[in-house]
């Protein structure tokens, strides 16, 4: 399978100028190609494909206004046209919105080089139009004998430079185990597991939410106030903007590092991981919880679990988001009519078992996921489909008795 390894590097002045010029040309070509495809559709009802935009790029290079496009490597320019083609394919297949224009201030600055546009020799990487290899900080080694097929260079808003190296590696499956775990996401507790794991959870199976953004909120607010007072376009405003970007980068790095360690441990120690298929984008529309949900980064957590499970031969099962996990007794299967979010502990009227809301949810999630693995199909609540559903988590929705016992 293909895996990307990301490293930080420190370009020389000449490399930095060359890369910044390449980023600008990539953004320009992408925007002009998008404009050409949009105008062709609205004026002639005609779809423009990659081959036609590539021919347009050749014509643009011959004009006096855009002759500077020939000064940078042609590979990143062709690659951005391929990315635009993929964006339109996703749009027409209704997997994504209509492609948007790239912004100099808001869009990610990056350029992709294929094998013909870089040289890899003895652990040194040299890009086209450059005379020196990149000064990469090898924080971890590449797989032995790996040959890069694609190299992506990027610069974040904090001014840091990164290179992502795509290589072909073998599948590294871990030894098969018979362990399975149910996972319930939350805000107070980032995750609650159906069973405790030594060194990872407390005695109830809960993992505390580190709340990285909340810990930096005062410093971030102070930096943003200073930024707001600076004159637009001044050098001091640029410095203040970079300070704000560095705080955001520090929050992101800490969050990602914590999620990587957490998901790697879960994947290594469990053969089957059962999660809820939450509509996170819909939940973010609830403004009172949007900031806390964004800080928890549930979508990134799920993404990490899924691709690491593929790497190591594990299974991730996502049950339906409307499955009433918290309201279903994990001992007898009784389904409550309602369970307000403020109730964190409840007693089952059927069997008398006392449940912690989150722990009970993980056990029912695990049972439902194992049922899916054994019998196939999906797990959905027994309720009328005509009822309008809110994007808020399912425990706030009314449900009826009818869930089978596990």
Interatomic CA distance for residues 22 and 24, integer angstroms: 5
What DSSP string describes 146-166?
Answer: ---SEEEEEE-TTS-EEEEEE
Task: Give the percent of the chain with pLDDT over 90.
Answer: 71
Query: Cα torsion at 41, 47, 50, 55 (round to 10°)?
Result: -70
pLDDT surpassing 80 at residue 288:
yes
Closest listed residue to residue 277, CA positions, set 189, 185, 358? 185
- Ranking 104-108, 217-221, 293-297, 384-388 by mean pLDDT, the lowest is 384-388
pLDDT score for 1 = 84
User: For position 260, what pLDDT does the model report?
Assistant: 96
Nearest alpha carbon to residue 333 among 286, 400, 402, 276: 402
| Segments of the chain assigned to CATH 3.30.420 | 173-209+252-406
Question: Which is catalytic among the residues 112, 213, 276, 395?
Answer: 276
- Considering 184, 213, 295, 395, which one is annotated as catalytic? 184
Q: Examine the pLDDT at 375 and tell me if it is beyond 80.
A: no
Class of 173-209+252-406 per CATH? alpha beta
Who wins on pLDDT, 387 or 365? 365
- Compute the mean pLDDT over every residue in the chain, rounded to the nearest whole number: 89
> H-type helices in 270-377, by residue range?
280-283, 287-296, 298-312, 357-375
Q: The tokens of 270 are what?
A: 């469990």
pLDDT at 339 over 70: yes
Give residue 169's pLDDT: 86
* Catalytic annotation present for 358: yes
Instruction: Output the six-digit token pair for 164.
Output: 């992502």
- What does the pLDDT look like over 308-335, one tens digit per residue? 999 889 999 999 888 898 999 988 889 9
Catalytic residue among 18, 213, 358, 395: 358
pLDDT of 383 above 50: no
Q: Is the pLDDT of residue 152 over 60?
A: yes
* Residue 253 annotated in active site: no
pLDDT band at 170 (very low <50, low <70, confident <90, very high): confident
Cβ atoms 186, 211 nearer than 8 A: no
**pLDDT value at residue 386:** 31
**pLDDT tens-digit profile of 208-251?**
999 999 999 999 999 999 999 999 999 999 999 999 999 999 99
């Amino acid at each position: 399978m293909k895996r990307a390894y990301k490293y930080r590097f420190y370009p020389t002045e000449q490399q930095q100028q060359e890369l910044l010029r390449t980023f600008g040309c990539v953004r320009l070509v992408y925007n002009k190609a998008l404009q050409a495809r949009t105008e062709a559709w609205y004026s002639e009802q005609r779809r423009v494909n990659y081959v036609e935009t590539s021919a347009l790029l050749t014509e643009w290079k011959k004009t006096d206004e855009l002759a500077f496009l020939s000064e940078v490597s042609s590979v990143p320019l062709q690659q951005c046209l391929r990315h635009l083609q993929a964006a339109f394919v996703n749009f027409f297949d209704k997997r994504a919105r209509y492609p948007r224009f790239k912004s100099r201030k808001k869009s990610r600055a990056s350029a992709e080089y294929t094998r013909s546009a870089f040289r890899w020799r003895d652990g040194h990487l040299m890009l086209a139009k450059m005379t020196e290899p990149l000064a990469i900080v090898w924080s971890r080694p590449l797989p032995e004998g790996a040959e890069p097929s694609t190299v992506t260079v990027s610069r974040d808003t904090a001014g840091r430079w990164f290179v992502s190296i795509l290589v072909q590696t073998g599948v590294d499956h871990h030894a098969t185990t018979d362990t399975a775990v149910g996972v319930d996401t939350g805000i107070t507790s980032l995750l609650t597991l159906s069973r405790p794991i030594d060194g990872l959870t407390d005695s109830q199976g809960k993992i505390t939410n580190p709340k990285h953004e909340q810990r930096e909120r005062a410093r971030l607010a102070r930096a943003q106030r200073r930024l707001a007072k600076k004159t637009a376009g001044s050098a001091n405003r640029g410095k203040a903007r970079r300070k704000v970007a560095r705080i955001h980068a520090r929050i992101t790095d800490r969050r990602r590092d914590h999620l990587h360690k957490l998901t790697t441990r879960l994947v290594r120690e469990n053969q089957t991981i059962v999660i809820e298929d939450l509509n996170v984008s819909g939940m973010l529309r609830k403004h009172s919880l949007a900031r806390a949900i964004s800080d928890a980064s549930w979508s990134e957590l799920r993404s990490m679990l899924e691709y690491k499970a593929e790497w190591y031969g594990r299974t991730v099962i996502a049950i339906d988001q409307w499955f009433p996990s918290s309201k279903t007794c994990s001992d007898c299967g009784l389904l409550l009519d309602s369970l307000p979010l403020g109730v964190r502990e409840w007693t089952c009227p059927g069997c008398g078992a006392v449940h912690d809301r989150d722990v009970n949810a993980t056990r029912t999630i695990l049972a439902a996921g194992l049922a899916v693995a054994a019998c196939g199909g999906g797990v959905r609540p027994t309720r009328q489909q005509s009822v309008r559903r809110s994007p808020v988590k399912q425990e706030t929705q009314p449900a009826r008795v009818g869930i089978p016992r596990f």
